[in-house]
Amino acid sequence: MCKHDDLLSKNRSGKALLSLPQAAEVMPPQKVADIDSDDIMAITNEGRMLVFPVKELPQLGKGKGNKIINIPAARAKAREELLSQLFVIPKGATVTLHAGKRKLSLKPTDVDNFRGERGRRGSMLPRGLQRVTAIEISTPQEAPETPEE
């Protein structure tokens, strides 16, 4: 997590925002709307999911990194297990996980089953839904106001 100003530099050469281990790839950045109430959802390619508050993720300087979900070092180095999905979800949002033709909708109370501390291993998704290919996030709609008479 970084501020927009950390992405900018006066000089082009010699500036690093990210430092990656060998064979690692960069994931697209996610915008955080509210640091105090939003959550981070991390899913590995083996179907482990961890949800924790954004405010648990420290804001570090350029090139520094945070552990989001625990993947054993040997498995990460061999590229057997890696982080495949990472999303910021607003408070009270419903999340739909797609795994091929199957899908699973998780209400906010269902998402709580996958909550844990940052850097933990995470819980396994149900069988048949462990290879998540896409995620849809739908925020709760405001109740329409009724005009007073």
Q: DSSP character for 112?
A: G
Confirm if 89 and 38 have CB atoms less than 8 A apart: yes
Element (H, E) at 110: helix 108-111
Written as tens digits, the pLDDT of the chain (149 aa) is 777 777 777 766 666 667 777 777 888 888 888 999 999 999 999 999 999 999 998 887 665 678 899 999 888 888 899 999 999 999 999 999 999 999 999 999 999 999 999 999 999 999 999 999 999 999 876 444 444 54
Q: Where are the alpha helices (DSSP H) in 29-102?
A: 73-77
CATH topology of domain 30-138: Neuraminidase (2.120.10)
Domain-by-domain residue ranges, the chain? Answer: 30-138
Q: Which two tokens stand for residue 81?
A: 């297990």
Please classify residue 108 by burial: count the beta carbons closer than 10 Å to its beta carbon, then call 0-12 exposed, 13-18 middle and 19+ buried. middle
Residues 6+ apart with CB under 8 A from 133: 98, 99, 100
d(C-alpha 87, C-alpha 99), whole Å: 16
